[in-house]
C-alpha cells in the first residue's frame, strides 16, 4: 500500500522531478542544445509536459478512489499547479519567443485559428483552478462549489488534447491516445457520479 | 524603384557564372569519385554570398542537414538526419516515361554528363512557416525535359520518390501513401528557376536532403520539392500529389508561397527563418514574384492554392 506518510516524505523529491525539465530546457534553449529551431522545440516540450501533467491529475482523481492508492491525492494539487506552470511557460513562449509581443497578430491568431483558440480557452479554464487550489479556498467556497469549479479540468484536458491533435500534420497517434485516455476517465467519472448512484437507488 | 538582383547581374551570367566541373567527362568522373569521399569540392562561400539577395544570410550546413521534413526517414525534424544512414543512393537510375517520344531509364552518371552543374542560392519556405537560405548545386529541369523529349500532349510532369522501406524506416508505416509523388505544370517545370539539385554547399546531397537527386522549386512550399527521385512521368492531366491527396483542404496542387492565403490551421503571413529570433514577413511567391507571377496570370490563387 502506498502510504500517505511515504508520499508526504517524498513530496520534495517529486517537486524537484517536476521542476527539473523546465530548468533543463531553459538551459538547453540558452546554450543552443535544442536544435536549429529552438523556439519550436521549447514550445512543443512545454506544451506536451503540461498536457501530460493535466492527464496525470485526472488519473490521480480516479485512482485515488481505490483504497490502496488513496494517498495519491496528496500530490494532486502539486501536479495540477505544475501543469498550470508549464501551460503558463508554453503560453509565454508563444507570446514572447514565437511572436515577440506582436499582440495584434496574437489576438487575430487566437480568434481565427481553432487550434489556438482551444489552447487559449484551456489556459483560461485553468486559471480559476490554479487560483483556488489552497485549502482556505475550499473552505471559503464550500467543498461542493469548489469541486464543481474544478470539473473545469476536464474542459481544459479535452481542449488541450484537441489543440495538440490539430497541431500535428499526420502523426496523430500520440494525441489520439491522450484524447482517448481523457474520454475514458471522463466516462468513468460520469458513471461513478451519476449513473452508478441512480442505479444503486 | 526596386532593384532586383537580376537587374544587377544579367540572368544568364548569374546562373552560369561558375561551373564547378569543367567538361562533361570530368563531371561523370568526379561524381563517381565523390560518392566515396562525400565531397567533390569545397564550398565556395564567397560565391554563395555573391548570389545572395540583400536581406538574406545563408543558413549553415548543419542547419540545412539536421532539420528536415522527409517522412520516409521519420516524422521528427531530426529523424532524417538520424535515420538515413543506411540509405544507399548509388547506383541510381531515373525512369523517364509517359507522353514522351522514347521512354527510357537513364543512369544518373550518364545524365550528369549531359548537363552543367550550376550554383543557385534559393530561399526555401516550408508550409509549416519556417524558412532557410540554401546554396544548391544542380541543373535546370528544362534540360532534362529536353532530353526526355515530351510529346506536345504532355501538359504536366509527375515525380516519384524511391520506395525502399528496408532502407527508409518511415516507409514501413503507412503514415503517407507511399511512394511520395509530386507534380508541376509543364511551364512551371520549364521555368529557369526550377532545378534538379544534386548537391548543396559543394557537397553531394546528403541522404536527409534527398540524395542523390531532388527537385527544387523555390517559389513553392518545400513539400513540392520532392526528394530522391526515381521516376519522372509526362502526363496530360494534373497529376496526383501526396499532400493534396492526404489532406486536400490543407494542401493544393499549386502550393505557391502565398502570404495572403493562410493554411486552414495557421497563418502564412510570417515565417521563422531558421537561425533568427524575430519572424519575417513572408514574401509573395517567396520573393520570386517578378520571375514567376506571369505563370499564374488570371488565376484565382485563393482557389488554386
Sorted by where each begins, the domain ranges of chain A are 4-200
Q: Give the confidence band of A30 by pLDDT, cuts at 50, 70, 90.
A: very high
Q: Which residue, chain included where needed, has cell 554547399? A: B201
Q: Using a CB-CB distance cutoff of 8 angstroms, which residues of chain B are in contact with residue A39? A: 272, 277
User: Which uninterrupted H or E stretch holds B66?
Assistant: helix B61-66
pLDDT at A1: 64
Cell of B64: 540545412
Candidates A28, A30, A36, A37, partner chain B, best to mutate (most B CBs within 10 A): A36
Cell of B300: 484565382
The number of domains in chain B is: 1
Q: Is B303 contained in some domain?
A: no
Half-sphere exposure (CA, 13 Å, Cβ side) for A114?
A: 8
pLDDT at B8: 43
Contact A171 B75 (CB under 8 A): yes
Q: Is B120 contained in some domain?
A: yes
A29 touches chain B (CB under 8 A): no
List the pLDDT tens digit at each of the 305 positions of chain B: 444 444 443 333 333 333 333 333 344 434 433 333 333 445 677 788 888 888 899 999 999 999 999 999 999 999 999 999 999 999 999 999 999 999 999 999 999 999 999 999 999 999 999 999 999 999 999 999 999 999 999 999 999 999 999 999 999 999 999 999 999 999 999 999 999 999 999 999 999 999 999 999 999 999 999 999 999 999 999 999 999 999 999 999 999 999 999 998 899 999 999 999 999 999 999 999 999 999 999 999 988 89
Those residues with Cβ within 8 angstroms of residue B266's Cβ, 6 or more apart along the chain or in another chain = A109, A113, A115, B129
Q: Is B4 contained in some domain?
A: no
- CA B22/CA B25 separation, integer angstroms: 8
Predicted model pTM: 0.85
Residue B239 structural domain:
11-296
Q: Give the confidence band of A5 by pLDDT, cuts at 50, 70, 90.
A: confident
Contact A35 B67 (CB under 8 A): yes
Cell of B158: 509527375
Q: Is B79 contained in some domain?
A: yes
- Say if residue A26's pLDDT is above 60: yes
Q: What percent of chain A has pLDDT over 70?
A: 100
Q: Is B1 contained in some domain?
A: no
CA gyration radius for chain B? 18
Q: Which residue has the higher pLDDT, B2 or A6?
A: A6
Long-range contacts of B33-37 (CB under 8 A, 24+ apart): B34/B204, B35/B90, B35/B204
Q: Which residue, chain included where needed, has cell 485559428? A: A113
Contact A99 B175 (CB under 8 A): no
Q: Is B5 contained in some domain?
A: no
Contact A36 B274 (CB under 8 A): yes
Cell of A123: 489556459
Cell of A6: 511515504
* Average model confidence (pLDDT) across chain A: 93
- CA A61/CA A1 separation, integer angstroms: 17
The total of other beta-carbon atoms located within 10 Å of residue B178's CB is 21
**Strand ranges in chain B using DSSP code E only, listed in sequence order:** 93-98, 104-107, 118-125, 130-140, 156-161, 181-185, 195-200, 203-204, 214-216, 229-235, 270-273, 280-281
* Domain of residue B131, CATH code: 3.90.420.10
- Say if residue A77's pLDDT is above 70: yes
Contact B175 A170 (CB under 8 A): yes
Q: Using a CB-CB distance cutoff of 8 angstroms, which residues of chain A are in contact with residue B130? A: 37, 40
Instruction: Give how far Cα B20 sits from Cα of A52, A69, B25, B138, Å.
Output: 52, 70, 13, 10
Cell of A133: 487550489
Helix ranges (DSSP H) in chain A: 4-9, 11-31, 38-63, 76-92, 103-112, 114-131, 135-141, 143-150, 152-167, 173-190, 196-200
- Say if residue A201's pLDDT is above 60: yes
Enumerate helices (H) and strands (E) in chain B, giving the number of each.
11, 12
pLDDT at B206: 96
Q: How far apart are the first and last CA of chain B?
A: 30
Q: Using a CB-CB distance cutoff of 8 angstroms, which residues of chain B are in contact with residue A115? A: 265-266
pLDDT at B32: 38
Q: Specify burial of residue B22 (Cβ count, 10 A radius: 0-12, 13-18, 19+).
A: exposed
Helix ranges (DSSP H) in B178-278: 186-190, 242-246
Å between A70 CA and nearest CA of chain B: 39
Amino acid at each position: 500500500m502506498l502510504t500517505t506518510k511515504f508520499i508526504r516524505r517524498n513530496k520534495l523529491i517529486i517537486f524537484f522531478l517536476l521542476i527539473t525539465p523546465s530548468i533543463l530546457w531553459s538551459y538547453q534553449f540558452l546554450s543552443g542544445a535544442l536544435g536549429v529551431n529552438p523556439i519550436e522545440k521549447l514550445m512543443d516540450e512545454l506544451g506536451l509536459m503540461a498536457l501530460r501533467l493535466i492527464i496525470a491529475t485526472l488519473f490521480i482523481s480516479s485512482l485515488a478512489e481505490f483504497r490502496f492508492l488513496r494517498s495519491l491525492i496528496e500530490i494532486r494539487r502539486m501536479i495540477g499547479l505544475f501543469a498550470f506552470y508549464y501551460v503558463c511557460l508554453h503560453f509565454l513562449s508563444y507570446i514572447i519567443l514565437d511572436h515577440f509581443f506582436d499582440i495584434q497578430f496574437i489576438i487575430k491568431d487566437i480568434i481565427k485559428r481553432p487550434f489556438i483558440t482551444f489552447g487559449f480557452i484551456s489556459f483560461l479554464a485553468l486559471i480559476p483552478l490554479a487560483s483556488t487550489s489552497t485549502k482556505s479556498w475550499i473552505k471559503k467556497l464550500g467543498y461542493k462549489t469548489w469541486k464543481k469549479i474544478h470539473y473545469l479540468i476536464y474542459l481544459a484536458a479535452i481542449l488541450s488534447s484537441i489543440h495538440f491533435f490539430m497541431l500535428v500534420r499526420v502523426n496523430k497517434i500520440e494525441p489520439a491516445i491522450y484524447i482517448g485516455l481523457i474520454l475514458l476517465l471522463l466516462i468513468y467519472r460520469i458513471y461513478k457520479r451519476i449513473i452508478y448512484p441512480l442505479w444503486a437507488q | 524603384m526596386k532593384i532586383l538582383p537580376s537587374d544587377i547581374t544579367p540572368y544568364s551570367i548569374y546562373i552560369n557564372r561558375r561551373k564547378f566541373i569543367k567538361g562533361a567527362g570530368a563531371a561523370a568522373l568526379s561524381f563517381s569519385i565523390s560518392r566515396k569521399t562525400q565531397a567533390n569540392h569545397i564550398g565556395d562561400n564567397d560565391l554563395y554570398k555573391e548570389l545572395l539577395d540583400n536581406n538574406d544570410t545563408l543558413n549553415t550546413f548543419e542547419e540545412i542537414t539536421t532539420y528536415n521534413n522527409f517522412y520516409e526517414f521519420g516524422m521528427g525534424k531530426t529523424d532524417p538526419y538520424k535515420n538515413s544512414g543506411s540509405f544507399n543512393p548509388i547506383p541510381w537510375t531515373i525512369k523517364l516515361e509517359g507522353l514522351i517520344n522514347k521512354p527510357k531509364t537513364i543512369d544518373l552518371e550518364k545524365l550528369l554528363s549531359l548537363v552543367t552543374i550550376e550554383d543557385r542560392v534559393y530561399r526555401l519556405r516550408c508550409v509549416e512557416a519556417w524558412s532557410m537560405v540554401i546554396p544548391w548545386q544542380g541543373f535546370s529541369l528544362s534540360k532534362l525535359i529536353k532530353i526526355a523529349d515530351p510529346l506536345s500532349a504532355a501538359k504536366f510532369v509527375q515525380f516519384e520518390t524511391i520506395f525502399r522501406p528496408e532502407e527508409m524506416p518511415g516507409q514501413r508505416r503507412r503514415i503517407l501513401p507511399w511512394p511520395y509523388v509530386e507534380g508541376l505544370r509543364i511551364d512551371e517545370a520549364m521555368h529557369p528557376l526550377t532545378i534538379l539539385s544534386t548537391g548543396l554547399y559543394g557537397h553531394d546531397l546528403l541522404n536527409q536532403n534527398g540524395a542523390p537527386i531532388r527537385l527544387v522549386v523555390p517559389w513553392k512550399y518545400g513539400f513540392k520539392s520532392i526528394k530522391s527521385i526515381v521516376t519522372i512521368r509526362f502526363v496530360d492531366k494534373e497529376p496526383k500529389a501526396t499532400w493534396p491527396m492526404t489532406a486536400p483542404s490543407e494542401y493544393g496542387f499549386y502550393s505557391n508561397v502565398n502570404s495572403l492565403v493562410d493554411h486552414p490551421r495557421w497563418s502564412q503571413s510570417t515565417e521563422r527563418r531558421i537561425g533568427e529570433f524575430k519572424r519575417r514577413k513572408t514574401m509573395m511567391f517567396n520573393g520570386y514574384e517578378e520571375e514567376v507571377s506571369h505563370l499564374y496570370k488570371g488565376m484565382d490563387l485563393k482557389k488554386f492554392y
